C-alpha cells in the first residue's frame, strides 16, 4: 500500500468527516434543546443542496453568498417548522413520540415534494473552485481543499457562537437545565426556535457546501441522515464535541474502509463497531452517562 | 437500628463538586429533614440515594445492605420508595389503577398467568384492588377511585402521588419537596399525613425548602450548604446554629 | 357503561360475521387479494402499536417483518419444513433478534432505540441484498415461494392456491392477533406498558424494572411483525429486500396514527380505512401515495392526535354539551 494512497484516503476522510459533523452538530443541538430527534434534518441538507444548484449553478451567485442564502432560507424554514409543528406538540403528552412521528412524516413530505418539484434525477452543480494541487504523490483538487477549510471554519464559528455569544450561552443553559435557564430569565421558547433554525441552517450549509462535489438529488438527505445518526450514537446524544469526533471517526472509517472492502461490507463493519461501542461505552465516545 | 446511612457521599459534575463527603444516617421510625438553600445539593443527594444518579465516591447503606449504584427499581423493591418534586403520576389512568400499580412489585403475576386469567392471577388482582382502596381511604381519596388522575386538583394529585408510593409498601419513604406549591391548609394537612405515616411504623426522609414546616415535624434535621453538611441535630437547636443562620437565613433575609 | 360495551360487542360481532361471509358476496380475486393485504398490514400495524405503547418508535418494524419473511421461506424452501411449523418458528426467530436489539439499546434514555432501529433496518436491507446471495437471493430476492397446504392424506387436502382459502387464513390470524393483543392490553402487563409510556420514572420508582417490560414489549411486537412477514411471503410468493426497507415503515406508522395510537382497535381501523381508500378509491394515486401518507401523518398528529377512534367520543361529548341546553 502506497503512502500517497493512504494520504489521499485521509484527506477524503477529513472531508467526509467534516460534512457528517456539520449535520450531526445540528441534530445533536436540536436534540439537546428540544429533546426531538429531528428526522427532517436530512431534508434540510437536501434543500441546501438545491439552493446551491439554483443560486450558484443557475443564477451564478457567488459561492460563499450561496452558502449564506442556504443557511438563511432553510434556517427560517426550520424556525417555521418549530413554531407551527413541533412547539404545539410540546404541550401535549408523549411529546418525544409525537414529535418524532411528525418529523418522520415531514421528512417524507419534503423528499416527495423535492421529487415533484426538482425531479428525481441527479443534478450536477458546477465546481466553485478550479485547479488541483500536488504535494508529493498526493493529488487534491482545490475544490476539496477549500470545502474542508470552509467546513472547519463553520465548525469553529459554531463553537465560538455557542461558547462566547449571549445567545449561544443561553442555548447551552437551556440544554443543561430548562427550568434553571427559565429562572435566569432566558426565554426557552425563543431559544428553542433559534436552536432549531441554527441546526437546520447548518445542515443546509453542509448540503450546499458539498453540492458541487457530490451533485444533488432528492434522496441525498435520507442517505446522509443515516450517517448523521451513526455519528450521534458514536459521539453521544446531545454532545457537541462528540458530534465532531464522531463525524471524523465515521469519515475515516468509510474513507479507509473503502480502500480495502466493498461498500456494503464497510456499512456492516461500521455497524459492528457501533454495537461494540454501545456495549463498552453506552453513552457514546464523549457523551455523559 | 439505622434505616439509612451515607458515608463520604460525593458527587462531581465535571469540575463542580455538588456533594462533598456527606455522612449522615436515619434511624428506624424517624422523620429526618434534609434542608439547605437552593443549590445546596439536596436534590443531588436525594437522587443518589434513590438510584437516579450514581455517586462519584462514597457508600449508601439501607437496612445494613449496600445500595450504592443500584437501579432505582431495585432500591424501591428493597423498601426505599420515593416521590417526585414535580407532579409525577399516570395521568391517563384512573386513580385506583395508579395505586394498583404501586402494589405490583409485591404481587406474583406473570405475563402468561395473567393472559390465561388463571385463578391465582384473578385473586392477585382482587387483592391488589382491595389494598389500593385501603390506601386511598387512608389518604381520603376513596371517592375519586374512578376519576382520571389528570383530572384531579393539584392538592389531591400530591396525595395520590403519596398513595402510589405507599402502595409499594416502603420501610423508608423519601419525599422530595412534598409541600411545594401548596397553600397553608394543604401544608398543614400534608404534615399531619406524614406524621400518620410515621405512626404506621415507617421512616421518612423529607427534603424540604420550607424551614418552618420542617421544624414542626422533623425529629432531626441535616443542613447542607454548598454540598457539605454544616449542621445536624434537633430542629430548634440547629436553627440557633450560627453557620445555619448565615448560610440559610442570610440568603432569605 | 355496560350498555355501551354491549353495543360495541354487537358491532364487533356483526363485523366478524360480515368478514366471514365476505367471499359469499364477492368472488372478485382483486377484492379478496386486497382484503388479505389489509389483514397482513393490520397485523404489522398492530405489532408496531405494541411498541409505540411502551413509548418507543421502531423504525425497523418492516425490517423485522422482513426477517420473518426470509426466515419462513428459508425454513420452508431450504429445510423442507411445513408452512404451519415455519410460521410460528419464523415469528419466534424474529422476536429473538428483537430481544437482542432491545437489550442493547433500551438501557439508555433518549432516542437510542429509535436511532439504532433506523440503522438496523438499513443493515438488514444491505445483508439481504449483498450477502449470502445463494440463500437470500440478492437484490431480486426470492421467488416461487410455495403456498401453504394442509394434507391429511385421504381425509382432506386443502391447498391455499386460491385467494379464498388464503383469505380465511389471513382473517383467522388477524383476529387471533387482535384477540391476543387485546388480552395483553387488559392484563397487568398491558397496564405496565401503558404506565411506562406515561411516566417511566414513576414506574421505576415503585419497584418495576422498566427495562424488563420494554424489552418484553419489543419482543411481543416483533413476534407479530415476524408473523406478518411469514404470511406475506407465502401469500405474495415473491420477496425482495426493498419490500422491507426503512421507507416501508411509513405506511404502518400512518395506519396506527390515523386509527389511534395506543388502542387495540386503532391500528385495525386506520389500516382498513387508509388501505381501502388507496386501493379501492385512489388507485391511480401511484407515486403520490407515500406523499399523501406523509401529509396525513403530520396533519393527524398535529390536529387529531388520538386518531379516528376518538371520533365517537368527541361526538358524544358534543352531545353531552348540547343536552343540558336543550332541556
Q: Does A60 touch chain B (CB under 8 A)?
A: no
CA A193 to chain centre: 18
Secondary structure (3-state) at B35: strand
Across chain B, which distance is largest between two alpha carbons, in Å? 65
Q: Do C253 and A101 touch (CB under 8 A)?
A: yes
Q: Least CA distance to C124: which residue of chain A? A: A268
CA A268 to chain centre: 22
Task: Give the residue carrying C-alpha cell 387479494.
Answer: C33
3-state helix vs strand vs coil in chain B, percent to 5: 45, 25, 30
Q: Do A85 and C198 touch (CB under 8 A)?
A: no
A62-107 confidence digits (pLDDT tens) = 889 999 999 999 999 999 999 998 888 887 777 778 888 899 899 9
Closest CB to A101: pick one of C110, C112, C257.
Answer: C257
DSSP per-residue codes, C181-220? HHHHHHSHHHHHHHHHHH-HHHHHHTT--HHHHHHHHHHH
CB contacts under 8 A, B 23-62 vs C, are 50, 52
DSSP per-residue codes, B77-114? HHTEEE--SS--S-TTSBHHHHHHHHTGGGS---HHHH
The cell for C173 is 390470524
Residue A184 pLDDT grade (very low, low, confident, very high; cuts 50, 70, 90)? confident
Check residues C293 and C237 and name the one with the higher pLDDT: C237
Q: Do C194 and B93 touch (CB under 8 A)?
A: yes
Q: Do A289 and B91 touch (CB under 8 A)?
A: no
- Distance from the Cα of C27 to chain A's closest Cα (Å) equals 37
Chain C residues touching residue B97 (CB < 8 angstroms) = 191
* Helical residues (DSSP H) of A177-262, grouped into ranges: 178-183, 188-214, 220-235, 240-260
Which residue of C53, C245, C252, C301 is the best one to mutate when testing the A interface, meaning the one whose CB has the most A CBs within 10 A? C301
Q: Least CA distance to B14: which residue of chain A? A: A288
CB A174 within 8 A of CB A192: yes
Q: Do A229 and C118 touch (CB under 8 A)?
A: yes
Q: How high is the pLDDT of residue C48?
A: 94
Q: How high is the pLDDT of residue C327?
A: 43
Q: Do A282 and C114 touch (CB under 8 A)?
A: no
Instruction: Please give the backbone phi and psi of residue C255, each rounded to the nearest 5 degrees, phi first.
Output: -60, -45
Q: How high is the pLDDT of residue A280?
A: 80
- Distance from the Cα of C253 to chain A's closest Cα (Å) equals 8
Is the pLDDT assigned to residue C74 strictly greater than 90?
A: yes
- Distance from the Cα of A231 to chain C's closest Cα (Å) equals 10
Q: Do C130 and A113 touch (CB under 8 A)?
A: no
Residue C305 CA neighbour count, 13 Å, CB half: 16
- Count how many pairs of residues, chain A against chain B, have C-beta atoms within 8 Å: 3
* The B228-233 sheet, strands edge to edge: B80-82, B172-176, B203-208, B31-35, B220-225, B228-233
Q: Does C195 touch chain B (CB under 8 A)?
A: yes
Rg over alpha carbons for chain B, rounded to the nearest Å, is 19
Query: What sign for the dihedral angle of Cα B39, B43, B48, B53?
Result: negative
Residue C23 pLDDT grade (very low, low, confident, very high; cuts 50, 70, 90)? confident
Q: Do A89 and C295 touch (CB under 8 A)?
A: no
Task: Residue C162: name the closest of C149, C175, C173, C145 by CA.
Answer: C149
C262-315 confidence digits (pLDDT tens) = 888 999 999 998 888 888 776 666 677 778 888 888 998 888 888 888 888 888
Q: How far is CA A7 from CA A16, A89, A153, A255, in A?
A: 14, 48, 22, 11
Contact partners, residue A59, CB within 8 Å, separation at least 6: none
Residue C326 pLDDT grade (very low, low, confident, very high; cuts 50, 70, 90)? very low
Chain A residues touching residue C132 (CB < 8 angstroms) = none
Is the pLDDT assigned to residue C152 strictly greater than 90?
A: no
Q: Do C122 and A226 touch (CB under 8 A)?
A: yes
- Distance from the Cα of C105 to chain B's closest Cα (Å) equals 17
Whole-angstrom distance, CA of residue C267 vs CA of residue C314? 19
Chain C residues touching residue B102 (CB < 8 angstroms) = 206
Q: How far is CA A227 from CA A198, A212, C115, in A?
A: 20, 20, 11
Q: Least CA distance to A93: which residue of chain B? A: B91
Whole-angstrom distance, CA of residue A268 vs CA of residue C259? 36
* Helical residues (DSSP H) of chain A, grouped into ranges: 3-34, 41-51, 63-81, 87-90, 95-118, 142-164, 166-176, 178-183, 188-214, 220-235, 240-260, 263-280
Contact partners, residue B151, CB within 8 Å, separation at least 6: none
Query: What sign for the dihedral angle of Cα B163, B165, B167, B171?
Result: negative
Task: Residue C196: name the closest of C51, C304, C58, C310 by CA.
Answer: C51
CB C43 within 8 A of CB C221: no
Closest CB to A274: pick one of C55, C108, C119.
Answer: C119
Whole-angstrom distance, CA of residue C159 vs CA of residue C146? 10
Chain B residues touching residue A93 (CB < 8 angstroms) = 91-92
Q: Do A229 and C115 touch (CB under 8 A)?
A: yes
Q: How high is the pLDDT of residue C107?
A: 80
CB C206 within 8 A of CB B104: yes
Instruction: Name the percent of chain B lying above pLDDT 70.
Output: 96
Count the helices and strands in chain B (H runs, E runs). Answer: 11, 10
Task: Residue C112: name the closest of A242, A232, A281 by CA.
Answer: A232
Q: Which chains touch A (3 or more CB pairs under 8 A)?
A: B, C
Q: How far is CA C284 from CA C171, C277, C279, C281, C289, in A?
A: 27, 11, 9, 8, 9
Q: How high is the pLDDT of residue C42?
A: 96
Check residues C324 and B186 and name the one with the higher pLDDT: B186
Task: Give the residue carrying C-alpha cell 406498558.
Answer: C193
Q: Do A97 and C57 touch (CB under 8 A)?
A: yes
A103-149 confidence digits (pLDDT tens) = 989 998 999 999 999 988 898 888 888 888 887 777 788 888 888 89
Is the pLDDT assigned to residue C160 strictly greater than 80?
A: no
Exposure string of A12-44, with b = 16+ CB inside 10 Å and e = fewer, is bbbbbbbbbbbbbbbbbbbbbbbbbbbbbbbbb
The cell for C308 is 379516528
Q: How high is the pLDDT of residue B90?
A: 93
Q: What is the pLDDT along chain B (253 residues), one digit of tens a residue?
A: 788 999 999 988 766 788 889 999 999 989 999 988 877 888 889 999 999 888 999 999 999 889 998 999 999 999 999 999 888 999 989 999 999 999 988 887 777 777 777 788 888 888 899 999 999 999 889 898 899 999 999 888 999 999 999 999 999 999 998 888 888 888 888 888 899 888 888 999 999 877 777 888 899 999 888 888 888 888 888 878 877 777 765 554 4
Whole-angstrom distance, CA of residue B85 vs CA of residue B181? 10
Whole-angstrom distance, CA of residue C73 vs CA of residue C55? 32
Q: Least CA distance to C185: which residue of chain B? A: B115
Q: How high is the pLDDT of residue C110?
A: 66
Instruction: Please give the backbone phi and psi of residue C199, each rounded to the nearest 5 degrees, phi first.
Output: -160, 100
Q: Do C208 and B92 touch (CB under 8 A)?
A: no
Q: How far is CA A257 from CA A1, A2, A213, A245, A264, in A?
A: 14, 15, 20, 18, 10
Q: Which helix (H) or strand (E) holds A218?
A: none
The cell for C193 is 406498558
Chain C residues touching residue B107 (CB < 8 angstroms) = 188
C185-204 confidence digits (pLDDT tens) = 988 899 999 999 888 899 99
Q: Least CA distance to B13: which residue of chain A? A: A288
Secondary structure (3-state) at B22: strand
Query: What sign for the dihedral angle of Cα A177, A38, C297, C34?
Result: negative
- Our CA angle for A180, B225, B8, nearest 5°, is 110
Q: How high is the pLDDT of residue C286?
A: 67
Q: Do B92 and A289 touch (CB under 8 A)?
A: no
Is the pLDDT assigned to residue C232 strictly greater than 90?
A: yes
Q: How high is the pLDDT of residue A288?
A: 61
A234-274 confidence digits (pLDDT tens) = 888 778 888 888 899 889 888 888 888 888 888 888 888 88
Q: How high is the pLDDT of residue A100?
A: 84
Chain A residues touching residue B54 (CB < 8 angstroms) = 289
Q: Does C205 touch chain B (CB under 8 A)?
A: yes
Which residue of C108, C182, C194, C207 is the best one to mutate when testing the B interface, meaning the one whose CB has the most B CBs within 10 A? C207
Whole-angstrom distance, CA of residue B24 vs CA of residue C107? 32
Q: Does B97 touch chain C (CB under 8 A)?
A: yes
Task: Give the residue carrying C-alpha cell 394442509.
Answer: C150
Q: Which chains touch C (3 or more CB pairs under 8 A)?
A: A, B
Closest CB to C202: pick one of B90, B105, B115.
Answer: B90
Amino acid at each position: 500500500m502506497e503512502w500517497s494512497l493512504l494520504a489521499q484516503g485521509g484527506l477524503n476522510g477529513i472531508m467526509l468527516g467534516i460534512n457528517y459533523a456539520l449535520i450531526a452538530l445540528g441534530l445533536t443541538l436540536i436534540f439537546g434543546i428540544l429533546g426531538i430527534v429531528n428526522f427532517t434534518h436530512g431534508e434540510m441538507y437536501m434543500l441546501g443542496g438545491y439552493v446551491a444548484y439554483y443560486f450558484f449553478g443557475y443564477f451564478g451567485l457567488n459561492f460563499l453568498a450561496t452558502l449564506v442564502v442556504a443557511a438563511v432560507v432553510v434556517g427560517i424554514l426550520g424556525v417555521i417548522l418549530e413554531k407551527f409543528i413541533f412547539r404545539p406538540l410540546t404541550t401535549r403528552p408523549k411529546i418525544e413520540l409525537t414529535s418524532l412521528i411528525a418529523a418522520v412524516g415531514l421528512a417524507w413530505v419534503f423528499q416527495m415534494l423535492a421529487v415533484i418539484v426538482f425531479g428525481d434525477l441527479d443534478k450536477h452543480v458546477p465546481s466553485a473552485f478550479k485547479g488541483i494541487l500536488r504535494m508529493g504523490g498526493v493529488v487534491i483538487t482545490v475544490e476539496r481543499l477549500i470545502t474542508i477549510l470552509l467546513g472547519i471554519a463553520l465548525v469553529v464559528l459554531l463553537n465560538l457562537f455557542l461558547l462566547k455569544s449571549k445567545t449561544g450561552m443561553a442555548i447551552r443553559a437551556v440544554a443543561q437545565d430548562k427550568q434553571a435557564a427559565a429562572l435566569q430569565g432566558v426565554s426557552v421558547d425563543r431559544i428553542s426556535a433559534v436552536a432549531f433554525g441554527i441546526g437546520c441552517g447548518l445542515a443546509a450549509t453542509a448540503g450546499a457546501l458539498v453540492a458541487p462535489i457530490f451533485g444533488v438529488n432528492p434522496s441525498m438527505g435520507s442517505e446522509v441522515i443515516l450517517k448523521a445518526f451513526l455519528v450521534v450514537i458514536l459521539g453521544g446524544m446531545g454532545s457537541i464535541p462528540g458530534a465532531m469526533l464522531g463525524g471524523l471517526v465515521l469519515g475515516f472509517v468509510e474513507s479507509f474502509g473503502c480502500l480495502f472492502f466493498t461498500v456494503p461490507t464497510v456499512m456492516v463493519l461500521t455497524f459492528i463497531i457501533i454495537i461494540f461501542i454501545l456495549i463498552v461505552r453506552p453513552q457514546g465516545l464523549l457523551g455523559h452517562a | 437500628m439505622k434505616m439509612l446511612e451515607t458515608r463520604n457521599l460525593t458527587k462531581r459534575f465535571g469540575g463542580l463538586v455538588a456533594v462533598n463527603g456527606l455522612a449522615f444516617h436515619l434511624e428506624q421510625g424517624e422523620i429526618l429533614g434534609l434542608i439547605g438553600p437552593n443549590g445546596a445539593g439536596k436534590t443531588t443527594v436525594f437522587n443518589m440515594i434513590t438510584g437516579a444518579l450514581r455517586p462519584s465516591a462514597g457508600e449508601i447503606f439501607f437496612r445494613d445492605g449496600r445500595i450504592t449504584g443500584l437501579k432505582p427499581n431495585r432500591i424501591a423493591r428493597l423498601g426505599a420508595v420515593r416521590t417526585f418534586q414535580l407532579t409525577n403520576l399516570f395521568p391517563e389512568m384512573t386513580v385506583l389503577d395508579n395505586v394498583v400499580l404501586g402494589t405490583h412489585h409485591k404481587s406474583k403475576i406473570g405475563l402468561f398467568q395473567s393472559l390465561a386469567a388463571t385463578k391465582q392471577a384473578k385473586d392477585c388482582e382482587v387483592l391488589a384492588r382491595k389494598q389500593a382502596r385501603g390506601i386511598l381511604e387512608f389518604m381520603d381519596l376513596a371517592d375519586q377511585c374512578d376519576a382520571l388522575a389528570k383530572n384531579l386538583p393539584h392538592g389531591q394529585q400530591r396525595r395520590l402521588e403519596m398513595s402510589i408510593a405507599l402502595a409499594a409498601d416502603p420501610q423508608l419513604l423519601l419525599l422530595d419537596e412534598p409541600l411545594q406549591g401548596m397553600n397553608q391548609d394543604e401544608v398543614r394537612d400534608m404534615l399531619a399525613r406524614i406524621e400518620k405515616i410515621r405512626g404506621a411504623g415507617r421512616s421518612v426522609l423529607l427534603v424540604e425548602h420550607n424551614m418552618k414546616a420542617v421544624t414542626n415535624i422533623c425529629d432531626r434535621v441535616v443542613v447542607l450548604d454548598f454540598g457539605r453538611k454544616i449542621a445536624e441535630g434537633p430542629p430548634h437547636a440547629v436553627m440557633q446554629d450560627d453557620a445555619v443562620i448565615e448560610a440559610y437565613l442570610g440568603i432569605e433575609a | 357503561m355496560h350498555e355501551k360495551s354491549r353495543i360495541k360487542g354487537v358491532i364487533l360481532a356483526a363485523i366478524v360475521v360480515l368478514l366471514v361471509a365476505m367471499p359469499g358476496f364477492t368472488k372478485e380475486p382483486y377484492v379478496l387479494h386486497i382484503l388479505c393485504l389489509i389483514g397482513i398490514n393490520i397485523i404489522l400495524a398492530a405489532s408496531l402499536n405494541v411498541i409505540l405503547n411502551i413509548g418507543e418508535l421502531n423504525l425497523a418494524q418492516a425490517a423485522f417483518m422482513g426477517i420473518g419473511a426470509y426466515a419462513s421461506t428459508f425454513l420452508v424452501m431450504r429445510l423442507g419444513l411445513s408452512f404451519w411449523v415455519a410460521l410460528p418458528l419464523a415469528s419466534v426467530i424474529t422476536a429473538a433478534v428483537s430481544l437482542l436489539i432491545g437489550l442493547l439499546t433500551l438501557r439508555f434514555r433518549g432516542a437510542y432505540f429509535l436511532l439504532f432501529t433506523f440503522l438496523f433496518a438499513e443493515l438488514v436491507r444491505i445483508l439481504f441484498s449483498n450477502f449470502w446471495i445463494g440463500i437470500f437471493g440478492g437484490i431480486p430476492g426470492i421467488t416461487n415461494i410455495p403456498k401453504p397446504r394442509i394434507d391429511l392424506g385421504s381425509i382432506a387436502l386443502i391447498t391455499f392456491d386460491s385467494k379464498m382459502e388464503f383469505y380465511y387464513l389471513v382473517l383467522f390470524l388477524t383476529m387471533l392477533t387482535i384477540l391476543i393483543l387485546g388480552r395483553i392490553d387488559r392484563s397487568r402487563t398491558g397496564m405496565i406498558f401503558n404506565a411506562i409510556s406515561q411516566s417511566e420514572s414513576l414506574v421505576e420508582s415503585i419497584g418495576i424494572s422498566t427495562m424488563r417490560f420494554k424489552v418484553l414489549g419489543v419482543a411481543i411486537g416483533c413476534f407479530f411483525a415476524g408473523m406478518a412477514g411469514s404470511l406475506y411471503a407465502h401469500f405474495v410468493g415473491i420477496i425482495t429486500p426493498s419490500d422491507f426497507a426503512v421507507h416501508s415503515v411509513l405506511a404502518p406508522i400512518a395506519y396506527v396514527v390515523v386509527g389511534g395510537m395506543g388502542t387495540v382497535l386503532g391500528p385495525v381501523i386506520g389500516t382498513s380505512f387508509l388501505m381501502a381508500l388507496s386501493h379501492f378509491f385512489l388507485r391511480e394515486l401511484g407515486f403520490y401515495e407515500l406523499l399523501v401518507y406523509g401529509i396525513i401523518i403530520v396533519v393527524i398528529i398535529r390536529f387529531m392526535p388520538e386518531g379516528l377512534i376518538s371520533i365517537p367520543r368527541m361526538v358524544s361529548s358534543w352531545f353531552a354539551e348540547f343536552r343540558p341546553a336543550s332541556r
